[in-house]
Chains A and B, each alone.
Chain A
């Protein structure tokens, strides 16, 4: 069955007539790319630049892992090590995770999914990419020119008064990249509110759109706060304006409050779109409407809302009051529930489905497992009594990597594979991709599971040396071995996806037989997305596993998969397009 999309030339027949020109070949000039307002092209610009930053961040991660195999290090000086782990954190958080799914997949899909020609503000969208690049270049410039050694959290007074590295330049870059994020958020919100095609009611929206909308809300409420907080550090470093200076009676812990007021919700900026991707993948590969659509949609909003009320759980031992800790812990336990609901609902979606184990689905199933562990280990840290011991250790490092890499990156890879034919018009090689998805899962667990144990044993995070505690070494060695596997499993898709751009088989409009407006238009879509704005009459995820199974059986006899058979497909699209 896996061979089906790998050989589309035999069977692929698009429901809508293929448009001669698409958004990729409409204009080849560089200017047309750099001045484009097309959300799809902007998504591609983001894909290229974000991949580059991910590559840099991964190199930093590799350096950290190899350095830690020996208790006293063997490659880096402490100062360099601190700069490397800061670089890893800053690049991965601000230049990869926050942008990856929203700005690449979100930008590409949102207008397509709701049946719009473009985002509400195409020029603002382009501006967001330029801001992102300006921010990225400044951050890189700061890292090359002096480096930054304050960690991605920039706690004062270290970052404001003690760090001798180029904190100012990097912060300026993050500040600018923050505005890129804000403009994207505004675009998501306005587009979802105002650009939906006729008939696309709120409860017909794909869950990806719900997730992107919730992400937009988190971005516009949170990002300005961190922007101004980081600006205060810049003020302190450059203009000597004492905002958080403890020496003058200011409050360094206030910085942490403001920082986490954004940076905890920022976790949801990273994971909510991943939930959206996950819902799409599960529905389309189980060939079934997502179980509890409404609950999943609302849980996204609940997470976005509650996510703003839990920042204090990063500060249980930072001298915030005991009562504050109790309240924040309670709300943190509550915010776990919507995430749990999502996991259960995805699992329940599989029940009585017609499951296709293709690459995106393997990523999606891996996501369920990794996110479950990542989410549940969050309870250890939200639980006051255990947090006192576990916070600031490798336990927390493992926890957020399970959520961020096991969750967000896995979903990103799954989504990238799923929409790759739509974005590029080419198919990737299915069998190697499938094995690679399994490799990601193995490599990831090998890398980060030992970190839970070493964290429980008390290894603090951001430690360069641990020669005084050699009992930690075996776990670091395991982790480094795992990271080698993980690195390999990130390189392989880079290679075969790039190769598929020229060598891959041409994709049909709907190679997966999936539902959703983005599959109604050709692959790759024309610049204006749809020849005619579609009118939506069907409910979302309108699959019928029973009939499909019967058609499968019938088609098996003819050796033609049912979901690609013309009759079934055109009947469906007729229904949807009136």
Chain B
């Protein structure tokens, strides 16, 4: 930040929120939006590869994946889904308040979002803990309590749980990153930083990211928790 600020001074430093490389706010905002969407494209490709692996393995071992998935706790998954959906709503509201330049509203909505994210992670923790307790974490001890496998072939169930932990784990990591970013945004709003108060675009960008995180879960939930009997 400092280094950039020191590069200032080409006669267009009057707008505090405008970075030196841009000519005006419109160009800056356009760039931010194109940049964010481009970043989301990379995220789609990132998770896309994992969904591809999942699709392939599930088509290969339909019955085993179905049986293994019965070990998951649908209630917990359902709670998490609603929690995330609600947090998406609050993020959308925070963008709305940002457009209206209502600082209190933004902070309140982002605060609720943080609580939702935290709730999601807590539920996730209990879910993981249960799976570990049931020896459903892939590795040498996997399936040492076969009753939790629900009759699935241990090897293929291991593939399923490998993907389950891999994909929900990476998603969880994105939730944590989202919490950090939202926290940073809240701090900016708290301090009345012109970077966020002058324009709603930064808030919207964070919102876009959070919607994406939500969207990944919207796909993960039915794929992992809600399988039809093949």
Contacts and interface: CB of A to CB of B under 8 A. Distances in A.
Touch test A–B (CB under 8 Å) = yes
Interface of A: 27, 32, 35-38, 111, 116-124, 126, 182, 185-187, 189-191, 193-195, 220-225, 227-229, 231-232, 235, 239-243, 245, 247-251, 254, 258, 261, 527-528, 533
Leading 7 A-B pairs by shortest Cβ distance: A118-B21, A224-B46, A240-B139, A35-B3, A224-B45, A241-B162, A248-B155
B10 interface: yes
Given A38-B7, A186-B38, A225 B21 contact: no
A194 B7 contact: no
Interface in B22-74: 22-23, 27, 30-31, 34-35, 38-39, 41-43, 45-50, 52-53, 56-57, 60-61
A228 B46 contact: yes
Contacts of A225: 45-46, 48-49
14 contacts: A27-B6, A35-B3, A37-B3, A37-B7, A111-B21, A116-B21, A118-B7, A126-B3, A191-B31, A224-B45, A232-B166, A245-B159, A527-B7, A528-B7
Contact of B35 (A117, A190, A224, A240): A190
A258 B3 contact: no
Given A221-B45, A249-B60, A254-B53, A243 B21 contact: no
Given A37-B7, A126-B3, A224-B46, 17 more contacts: A35-B2, A38-B7, A118-B20, A118-B21, A121-B35, A194-B31, A195-B27, A220-B45, A224-B45, A225-B45, A225-B46, A228-B50, A235-B162, A241-B138, A243-B53, A250-B159, A258-B49
B6 to A, nearest CB: 8
Nearest to B47: A228
Contacts of A37: 3-4, 7
Contacts of B45: 220-222, 224-225
A254 B159 CA distance: 14
Nearest to B4: A37
A123 B155 contact: no
Interface in B164-214: 165-166, 170
Contacts of B166: 232, 235, 241, 243
Interface residues of chain A: helix, strand, loop or mixed (majority) = helix
Contacts of A32: 3, 6
B114 interface: no
Interface string B131-146: 0000001111000000
B17 interface: no
B148 interface: no
Contacts of A232: 53, 166
B113 interface: no
Interface residues of chain B: helix, strand, loop or mixed (majority) = helix
A32 B7 CA distance: 10
Given A118-B20, A186-B35, A189-B38, A242 B138 contact: yes
A123 B23 CA distance: 17
B21 A249 contact: no
A338 B137 CA distance: 49
A190 B31 contact: yes
A36 B41 CA distance: 28
B158 interface: yes
A249 B61 contact: yes
Contacts of A243: 53, 159, 162-163, 166
Nearest to A528: B10
B3 A242 contact: no
A248 B35 contact: no
A189 B156 CA distance: 42
A122 B27 CA distance: 15
Nearest to A236: B162
B41 A239 contact: no
A526 to B, nearest CB: 10
B159 A239 contact: no
Nearest to A126: B3
B60 A533 contact: no
A227 B162 CA distance: 18
A240 B39 CA distance: 30
B218 to A, nearest CB: 19
Given A189-B38, A249-B61, A528-B10, A258 B31 contact: no
A119 B140 CA distance: 50
A113 to B, nearest CB: 15
Nearest to B35: A190
Of A38, A116, A248, chain B has the most CB atoms within 10 Å of the CB of A248
A558 B42 CA distance: 58
A169 to B, nearest CB: 20
A190 B38 contact: yes
Contacts of A121: 31, 35
A194 B156 CA distance: 49
Interface in B107-140: 137-140
A186 B31 CA distance: 10
B219 to A, nearest CB: 15
Given A35-B2, A243-B162, A120 B53 contact: no
A122 B38 contact: no
B42 A242 contact: no
